[in-house]
Structure 1
C-alpha cells in the first residue's frame, strides 16, 4: 500500500469521509445558517420602511378617496407598531370604500403574511397586481411574492 505522509491511502479516504460532513456542519453553524428552514412569519425588511410605504401611498394616490388615504395611513401605523389585527380591521373598512384600490390589497397581503397566512397573502398580492399599473407598487408586490414563495417553500416540502 502507498504511504502518503505516514497515512495509507485507505486511511486517508476514511478520514475524508468523516471530516467532510463535520466540515459542512461547522460551516453551516459558523455561517449563522440553520439546518432547518425557518417557519417564522414573513417579515419583509424592505416593506417595513415607512418612507417606502409613504412613497407607495403617494404614487398610487390618484383617484383615491381621502377617507381611504387616512385609513391606509392608520393601518400602516398599526402594522409598523406590531398590531396587524387592528391594521387588517382598518383595511377592511378601506376596502368597503374603495374595492379596487391595489394598495389596500397589498397592505392586506403584508399583514396576512406577518400573521403566517401565506396563502391568503399570496392571493391578496396577486389581486393587487391585477389592479395596478404603478411601477413602484408592481415592483414591491413582485419582491413580496418572491419572498413569500421562498417562505412557503419549506411548508410545501414538509407536506
Structure 2
C-alpha cells in the first residue's frame, strides 16, 4: 500500500510558518539629515522636469556628504535625464566605486552606464 496521501487529504504541515513576501525596502536615505532633505527636493525637481535645479540641489548635498554613493547615483540619473550621457557615465562610475559591496546599487549604476553608452 502506498504512503502517499489520498487526494482529498490535506498535506501534512511542517509546523514552519508560511513564507511571506519580503517587506519593501525603505526609501534610500543618505547618512546626513541635511542631505536627505536635499535629496527629496532634488527628486521633486527632477519629477517636475527641472534637471538644472535638481542637479544643483544634488551638488549641494554632495558638498555635505561627498562620499555618499546614492547621491552620486541620483546625480548620474539627473544628467542622464538631461541627455548628458558622458557625464552620467562618469558619475555612475564614481557611485559604483563608492558603493563598495552594495550589489544592488552597483547593478543600477551598471545599467545606467549601459543605457547612456547606447545613446552616445
Equivalent residue for 1:79, pick from 46, 65, 68: 46
Q: Which residue of 2 aligns with 1:70?
A: 37
Structure 1 residue 82 displacement after superposition: 0.8
Q: Deviations over 1:96-129 (max 9, x none)?
A: 1011111111111111122221111110000000
Across the aligned residues of Structure 1 and Structure 2, the Cα RMSD in angstroms comes to 1.8
**Highest relative contact order (Cα 8 Å, sep 6+), 1 or 2?**
1
* TM-score of the two chains, using structure 2 as the length reference: 0.73
Structure 1 residue 135 displacement after superposition: 2.1
How far, CA to CA, are the matches of 2:116 and 2:65 in structure 1? Answer: 26
Q: Deviations over 1:17-69 (max 9, x none)?
A: xxxxxxxxxxxxxxxxxxxxxxxxxxxxxxxxxx99x74x15xx4xx011111
How far, CA to CA, are the matches of 2:74 and 2:56 in structure 1? Answer: 12
Equivalent residue for 2:106, pick from 118, 122, 138: 138
How far, CA to CA, are the matches of 1:115 and 1:87 in structure 2? Answer: 10
User: What runs of 5+ residues in structure 2 fail to find an aligned partner?
Assistant: 1-23
Structure 1 residue 144 displacement after superposition: 0.9
* TM-score of the two chains, using structure 1 as the length reference: 0.56
Choose 1 or 2 for highest CA Rg.
1
Say yes or no: does 1:114 pair with 2:81: yes
* Count of aligned residue pairs for this structure pair: 96
How far, CA to CA, are the matches of 1:119 and 1:148 in structure 2? Answer: 7
Q: Runs of at least 4 residues of structure 1 off by over 6 A? A: none
Q: Which residue of 1 aligns with 2:14?
A: none
Structure 1 residue 73 displacement after superposition: 1.1
Compare the two structures and name the one with the higher helix fraction.
Answer: 1
